[in-house]
Amino acid sequence: MPGTARSEAVLSVNAAICWYVLRKMGINDPIPGYGKLLLETGIVG
């Protein structure tokens, strides 16, 4: 809805896939400077 504040993060599918692949490969190091997603270390689910 236009004009409605949302709290969800908006990110590209490329960033999400990069994060997922790194975590699945066991690379859990936080990557500062690239947003909250790459600072998180766990996969939910």
What's the rounded Cα separation, in Å, for the pair 5 and 3? 6
The whole-number pLDDT of residue 45 equals 47
Domain chopping of the chain, boundaries:
11-45
Q: With the C-alpha atoms ordered 20, 28, 45, 12, is the resulting torsion angle positive or negative?
A: negative
In 3-state terms, what secondary structure has residue 35? coil
Assigned token pair, 30: 């936080």
**Maximum C-alpha span of the chain:** 40
17 vs 43, residue with greater confidence: 17
d(CA 4, CA 12) in angstroms, rounded, equals 21
Tens of pLDDT, residues 12-38: 788 788 888 888 898 888 777 777 777
